[in-house]
């Protein structure tokens, strides 16, 4: 760690010398192409003068400046400190997290940030926020939201087929089984079906909907083994409701390619 600190300070000094004097006299000062505030943040992170307890209390704006100045000086040490303290912050806005992840090549942040944003209506974001993440990232977000909406609408309107047991097929009970499942899927009276959750304006995450499948209320007309097999099929890795997870994974992979360099 000491070697890394020394290296970062040397890099900062070189960057200053390349644009100014040698810093050995008042007539030949170092010129730093950064604000005094940004440079103070950089030094505080490099030397940890105030201790980690104080750093932990620093606001998001402090660490945003730390990432900016660390990128300017090419300092992995300061970048890693900022990543550490920002990583688990609950008050770190996912839009800002995605912006920093792309701008400063922090791959582990992209997936969690995108998953928080994917179910938020685009109209909820300000023009400034969308400009900050860039047009390419905005397009990926918009395209993925559109694909998920189309997929959910199709799922809601088209009842997944029942996976009948052989006993059910042999008994000629399958028609009643299908009707019971369809009623449960769409919902009736005061019972809310899966279809309602899929097209609900609150955009309930797919995995949360999936977790409620075992609780779907079917009538006594549906064979219990058919019910279990159908739910198991829908919940499997190739299940209908997990297709949006694949869409999200593809989008995250595309976002990772937007990173300008790797840290």
Pairwise CA distance, residues 9 & 32, whole Å: 13
User: Which residues pair with residue 25 across a beta bridge?
Assistant: 28
CA-based nearest residue to 173, from 219, 216, 213, 235: 219
Task: Give the CA count within 13 Å in the CB-facing half-sphere of 177.
Answer: 23
Give the per-residue pLDDT at 22. 47
Pairwise CA distance, residues 126 & 104, whole Å: 22
Pairwise CA distance, residues 152 & 202, whole Å: 13
Specify the 3-state DSSP secondary structure of 89: coil
Domain ranges of the chain: 1-92, 149-243
Look-up: residue for tokens 């959910």?
A: 152
Pairwise CA distance, residues 262 & 259, whole Å: 7
Give the per-residue pLDDT at 34. 60
Please state the pTM of the whole predicted model: 0.76
Q: Over its length of 263 residues, how does the chain's per-residue pLDDT go in tens digits?
A: 555 544 554 444 454 445 444 445 555 554 555 677 777 778 788 777 556 667 778 888 988 888 888 888 888 888 888 898 888 788 899 999 999 999 998 999 999 999 999 999 999 999 999 999 999 999 999 999 999 999 999 888 888 889 888 888 877 778 888 988 888 888 765 567 888 888 888 888 888 888 888 888 888 788 888 888 888 888 877 777 788 889 999 999 999 998 765 43
Q: Is 176 exposed, middle or buried (0-12, 13-18, 19+ CB in 10 A)?
A: middle
């Amino acid at each position: 760690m000491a070697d890394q600190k020394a290296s970062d300070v040397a890099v900062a000094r070189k960057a200053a010398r390349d644009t100014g004097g040698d810093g050995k006299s008042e007539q030949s000062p170092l010129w730093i192409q950064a604000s005094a505030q940004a440079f103070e943040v950089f030094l505080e992170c490099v030397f940890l003068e105030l201790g980690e307890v104080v750093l932990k209390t620093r606001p998001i704006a402090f660490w945003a400046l730390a990432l900016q100045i660390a990128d300017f000086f090419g300092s992995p040490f300061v970048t890693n400190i900022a990543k550490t303290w920002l990583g688990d912050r609950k008050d770190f806005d996912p839009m800002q997290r995605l912006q920093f992840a792309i701008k400063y090549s922090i791959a582990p942040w992209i997936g969690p940030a995108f998953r928080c944003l994917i179910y938020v209506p685009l109209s909820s974001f300000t023009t400034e926020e969308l400009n900050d993440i860039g047009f390419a990232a905005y397009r990926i977000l918009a395209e993925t939201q559109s694909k998920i909406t189309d997929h959910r609408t199709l799922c809601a309107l088209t009842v997944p087929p029942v996976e009948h047991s052989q006993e059910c097929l042999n008994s000629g009970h399958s028609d009643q089984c299908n009707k019971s499942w369809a009623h449960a899927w769409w919902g009736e009276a005061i019972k809310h079906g899966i279809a309602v959750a899929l097209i609900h304006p609150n955009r309930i995450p797919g995995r949360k909907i999936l977790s409620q499948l075992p609780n779907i209320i079917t009538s006594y007309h549906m064979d219990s083994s058919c019910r279990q097999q159908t739910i198991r099929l829908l919940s499997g890795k190739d299940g209908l409701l997990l297709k949006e997870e694949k869409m999200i994974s593809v989008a995250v992979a595309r976002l990772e390619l937007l990173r300008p360099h790797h840290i």
